[in-house]
Structure 1
């Protein structure tokens, strides 16, 4: 398996054949999905910036970021559990997927309701705009939808359908834009958030129907290497990874809410745009490592070679994009408006640069998922997130969003440096038993 992951190039094709190996081909499909989604997503936020005031955009973007955070936390890490175990579930695939869906939907609905009921305390700006009743309905419905939407891409990858992910996300992004324009034209209150949630509902219903009616039965019928899967085993894997993911989701999606309360709605709107572009860079290595986990699930011994190959290709794709964003930060943000360029240029530069050490940290987490090194799955994202959130909280009043960008760059760089040293030691040690 490790040889398949590394993929020896065939004569006459050179480096191109390495990219056509299944693990890298699927990784490229997920990167393409992220790229298309990010490109259309930027168009979405350009329209938001042009059609709504920074204050309105800021409150809505904070609501959407919170919805994403709650959905990602509430699915109990079923996203990575399905990616890791579906390829080796065999005839138990349907039971595994149905159980994951049920757990994610139930927990997400309760999480959304609890957050909305407490919003007068921790998010009074949202209550002032939408009203408490509407906010409860929004989070009660939107949080489960966002949880399943998060899970779907990894599930499709685990089922061997990564090539479908770009199409799904492109349709979702275009539908979201159409609904946004409609909402703006008829002046629907909360139209930004509603356009996102309705598009998510369409994507979730369509893909879930296809998964349960067609894909899961086909996958279960194909002979494959089956790994014993128990609730205890899934809980142990998902529990450790879930602990780390809670920290990570708070850092990824919690900053807009932090900016809203700390420095104002306008800055929250700017950060949403900045982070959309920076996150597009992060998603390059995310796509590559998701494919790596799915293809290396049966071969923990080959995970280190897979990590090296994946990191190399992620670096080749990320470096040029980082150069474009860092050198062109101001003119790029000027497309959204002068306010966004003024308040977000240096934050974009720093956040974009943080995508380079993120290749080290993300690939280390992928290898840890394959090898079930639970301590890594907790410590790495928790350390980065604590540095980012604490640094942002301390620096935002004086530095604005520059403090957030600096926190991302410092957090990623420090953890990447430590991982580079410690992983060299692990390479000389025998692998733990799966």
Structure 2
């Protein structure tokens, strides 16, 4: 029976890659918990607060500046030829990193003047820390999406295990060397992430890139540089379309999670952010599950597979149920492993965050479903509702309710989004859905894979299959 179950799982691409993505989440959560527990016991809370504030700001900058390249990978890489694949990946990584570096530099110069609680970013040390941390986050995000695009969850799992273990080893080494301030946390967080991301860029693409039809030499160095410049120019229309399509959806979807720690720091200071961040990271294993399954669902449909939302929802419930129960029942004790102070401040917040996992999953799966059907406008509206609700309520509640106010805002935003999903579902029982019109071709991702009336499979946009068969890819910056 066990062998047959394993065989069924190996043939079920959605379940297999969802489980691998979630195994990545669980391993990151478990090793991350060990990392932060070690940091909390070795570094004073005010220094922890400064480090987590820099990491939070770097995450927010990366989310804003990565240009939506990750979902562009998921949409465009399946079925690409060797040259197109290399151009998409190389340009996506380069442009995303360059935009992140520029945005982080601007943020390091501008944010301290807007909030005195971010004064630690002033000076070359603060700017360097923010820029390197933001680039590290962008690279790890884009590389994860590269593996998701090819339904190669095992590669992402191995890479993230190496990063998480590297953080712990580096932190131990840094502490043994006598560093016990915010720098110890930042170095141990950023250095392994950057090194393993660079190693992945050197090794990983070779395994994922499609084999060339006509193997040959790479050519002289000057020719390769000219080809790279030409490829970068050819990619710009796709990147512009990704920014107006996928990236706006990603910003409104991931924005609250990235900005909440920044708001806590701005309103309450770095010390309060330390208590918020550790509770947030403890609950993050729940919030990573539904986005992981949603990404797997979207990747399946870009590969012309027929996958229902109900199947994806069952996978989420199966994985989230047990850890959510544990966090609700033993949240105080878990946070108490950091210190008694973290348990007192963070326990009510942790319970609220656990309750928000269910409506958060509803909204994330709905966005993945609508995105695969090309209904980008609906995705943006749903995410905008939860982003505005979450961030505005958190900003208003933080001064009076403390860090618990951020959790209340998060719960309210997710609940509002889930209610909107229910309202759309009820409306569509009466009125059939109408796909968005006037979108650029890179935005019109995947239709639900079902044979159309003419026998054509609609797992990819109309016309894309013909261009791929011809061995090329037409510019897609024009309106349809």
TM-score, normalization: structure 1? Answer: 0.88
Q: 2:86 aligns with which of 65, 69, 94?
A: 94
Which residue of the partner structure matches residue 193 of structure 1?
186
1:108 pairs with 2:91: no
- Greater per-residue helix proportion: 1
Aligned partners of 1:290 and 1:218: how far apart in 2? Answer: 25
Q: C-alpha offsets along residues 285-316 of structure 1, whole Å, 9 cap, x if unaligned?
A: 1221211111111448x4xx521110111112
Moved more, 79-88 or 148-157: 79-88
Q: CA separation of 1:201/1:15 partners in 2, compared to 1, >3 Å: closer, same or farther?
A: closer
2:288 counterpart SS class: helix
1:421 is displaced (CA, Å) by 2.5
1:88 counterpart SS class: coil
Report if aligned partners of 2:62, 2:137 keep a CA contact under 8 Å in 1.
yes
Q: CA separation of 1:164/1:256 partners in 2, compared to 1, >3 Å: closer, same or farther?
A: same
Which residue of the partner structure matches residue 113 of structure 2?
121
Which residue of the partner structure matches residue 432 of structure 2?
429
2:151 counterpart SS class: coil
How many residue pairs end up in the alignment?
Answer: 414
Aligned partners of 1:395 and 1:369: how far apart in 2? Answer: 33
Q: C-alpha offsets along residues 379-418 of structure 1, whole Å, 9 cap, x if unaligned?
A: 2222112111111111111111221112111211121122
Structure with bigger RCO (C-alpha 8 Å, 6+ apart):
1
Aligned partners of 1:363 and 1:331: how far apart in 2? Answer: 32
1:11 is displaced (CA, Å) by 12
Report if aligned partners of 2:63, 2:255 keep a CA contact under 8 Å in 1.
no
Which residue of the partner structure matches residue 469 of structure 2?
none
1:165 is displaced (CA, Å) by 1.2
1:288 pairs with 2:293: yes
Output the aligned Cα RMSD: 2.6
Q: CA separation of 1:18/1:198 partners in 2, compared to 1, >3 Å: closer, same or farther?
A: closer
Which residue of the partner structure matches residue 341 of structure 1?
343
1:232 is displaced (CA, Å) by 4.7
1:24 pairs with 2:27: no
Moved more, 230-239 or 185-194: 230-239
Which residue of the partner structure matches residue 357 of structure 2?
355
Q: CA separation of 1:93/1:49 partners in 2, compared to 1, >3 Å: closer, same or farther?
A: same
Q: 1:396 aligns with which of 395, 398, 401?
A: 398
Q: CA separation of 1:132/1:40 partners in 2, compared to 1, >3 Å: closer, same or farther?
A: same
Contiguous gaps of at least 5 residues in structure 2? 215-233, 436-446, 448-460, 462-480
Aligned partners of 1:52 and 1:297: how far apart in 2? Answer: 45
Which residue of the partner structure matches residue 252 of structure 1?
257
Q: C-alpha offsets along residues 63-97 of structure 1, whole Å, 9 cap, x if unaligned?
A: 01111111122111111111222113334211111
Runs of 4+ in 1 over 6 A off after TM superposition: none
Instruction: Look at both structures and tell me which one has the larger radius of gyration over its CA atoms.
Output: 2
Aligned partners of 1:19 and 1:122: how far apart in 2? Answer: 52
Moved more, 253-262 or 324-333: 253-262
Report if aligned partners of 1:270, 1:344 keep a CA contact under 8 Å in 2.
yes
Aligned partners of 2:53 and 2:235: how far apart in 1? Answer: 38
Contiguous gaps of at least 5 residues in structure 1? 1-9, 222-228
1:212 is displaced (CA, Å) by 3.6
Aligned partners of 1:370 and 1:330: how far apart in 2? Answer: 40
1:124 is displaced (CA, Å) by 4.0
Moved more, 74-83 or 176-185: 176-185
Report if aligned partners of 1:38, 1:277 keep a CA contact under 8 Å in 2.
yes
Aligned partners of 2:273 and 2:387: how far apart in 1? Answer: 18
Q: CA separation of 1:157/1:325 partners in 2, compared to 1, >3 Å: closer, same or farther?
A: same
Q: CA separation of 1:230/1:209 partners in 2, compared to 1, >3 Å: closer, same or farther?
A: closer
Q: C-alpha offsets along residues 334-362 of structure 1, whole Å, 9 cap, x if unaligned?
A: 11111111101110001011111111101
1:175 is displaced (CA, Å) by 0.7
Q: 1:137 aligns with which of 128, 140, 143?
A: 128
Aligned partners of 1:166 and 1:191: how far apart in 2? Answer: 26
